[in-house]
Structure 1
Amino acid sequence: MTSAVVRAPAPLLAPVEQRAPVLLVHGIDDDASAFDAMRARLEREGWVHLQAISLRPNDGSEGIPVLARQVAHEAEALRARTGARRVDVVGFSMGALVSRYWLQVQGGRLVVRRYISISGPHAGTRLAWLRRGRGVRQMRPGSPLLRYLQSERRPWGEVEAHSFWTPWDLTIFPASSSRLRGACERTFPVLLHPWMIRDARVIDAVVDVLGSPAVAR
């Protein structure tokens, strides 16, 4: 006698008109195309307003605050284009740290509803010692920028923050550097760092978080 496979029910998604526009921020050496798989899935699920940005430069030679201002500019353009009061932000790797800096230091938390960090170097990565560049130095464990961000006791304001990471990450090393105080946390058994934004399980979780009905505050 065979047993049927019981699948988890699909998450209840908010109506399309209640979803916030989404800004996608890539990692080092990437560009907007890194999010092609995630963007395609979000579009299939009904998202209309999606913006994947390309940071310049993308190699870590420029500082995190400079790149964060690019995120701020794109977020304001997205809000102006859609008329939305708040946006959702998904940041991957260096892009997660750049987005976090914008949220905490440059006023982003006033206009962001949900923030998903995917494998961000929030406590630094030892691999940053192998490269040069202002932004790379800021991603080294114990850098002044990371210590400053960590010193804020209540960094998120009204933002709903999430941290997705894989314990097997060898790019963000140690992998636990991707943890965020005050954020909802999920780990995924993904073998390689770049696969995190292409893995179906991670994308499912992104859809679930961004599409979940808003909770009254």
Structure 2
Amino acid sequence: MPIKRKSRVAVLVPGIFDRGKSMLQMRSALESAGFTAHCINLKANSGWHGMEHLALQLRDRVEEVTVARETCALVGFSMGGIVARYYLQRLGGAERVHKFIALSSPHFGSFWAHFLPYKGGRQLRIGSEFLSSLNRDTSVLESAAPVSIWTPYDATILPQSSSRLPLGKTYQIPVSLHRWVPQNRAVIEIVVAELAEVLKDDP
């Protein structure tokens, strides 16, 4: 079987109620660095139908923007990081992705999700079976060289420590507001550098 090639394609997955506007600066920076960046516009991005529904859309988008035997990078902001994880861990996405970066994603849930009375909200709550299941086999993420970026001032992901994956690299960046994380210059620089680093040894 031919060895897979790491492409310069990056798929950006926005957070709840976000059509991708929050990640436009990151997309521009990635494109300036020679990447082809795509912002996915998730349908029902409130999470109403659950993370599975959104992850299927992500799977289809990855298939659209990559070619056979090539892998891509995924950058997920907030809920988008959990959508990406479901795709990677439950839908075979680990075979198509060589780099995964999560920005302020509630890997262990958030207090505020308890006020979202629908499937996606229940899945993002602290102690939910959905997140517990994903966290029982995080080893699946190892092939995607995972990175988590978080801010200690996050008032949306509570506790803030929930944004730290239990494996891979972790960066703490002091961003004042949750919604500013994907637009923060230091965060964008880390994302660009991490995506470039993983390509260095690719033929």
Q: What TM-score do you get using the length of structure 2 for normalisation?
A: 0.92
Asked if the contact 1:119/1:172 (under 8 Å) is kept, the reply is: yes
Which string of whole-angstrom CA distances, capped at 9 and with x for unpartnered residues, describes residues 72-124 of structure 1? 000011113xx561000000000000001110111000110000000001000
Specify the code of the residue in structure 1 equivalent to 2:178.
H
Equivalent residue, structure 2, for 1:203: 188
Which string of whole-angstrom CA distances, capped at 9 and with x for unpartnered residues, describes residues 122-173 of structure 1? 0000001122221111000111101101111522242111000101111000
Equivalent residue, structure 1, for 2:96: 111
CA distance in 2, matches of 1:45, 1:215: 17
Asked if the contact 1:19/1:210 (under 8 Å) is kept, the reply is: no
Give the SS at the match of 1:95: helix
Give the SS at the match of 2:70: coil
CA distance in 2, matches of 1:33, 1:84: 30
Give ranges in structure 1 of 5+ residues lacking alignment.
Answer: 1-16
Equivalent residue, structure 1, for 2:147: 162
Equivalent residue, structure 2, for 1:3: none
Q: CA RMSD in A?
A: 1.6
Structure-2 change in CA distance of 1:153 and 1:121 (3 Å): closer
Which string of whole-angstrom CA distances, capped at 9 and with x for unpartnered residues, describes residues 152-205 of structure 1? 152224211100010111100001001112121001000100000000000000
Specify the code of the residue in structure 2 equivalent to 1:73.
D
Asked if the contact 2:77/2:102 (under 8 Å) is kept, the reply is: yes
CA distance in 1, matches of 2:196, 2:66: 18
Specify the code of the residue in structure 2 equivalent to 1:144.
E
CA distance in 2, matches of 1:34, 1:62: 22
CA distance in 1, matches of 2:135, 2:143: 18
**Aligned length in residues:** 197
- 1:60 to partner: Cα distance: 2.0
Q: Indicate the percent of aligned positions where both proteins have the same amino acid.
A: 36
Matches for 1:87-98 after TM superposition, within 5 Å? 87-98=72-83
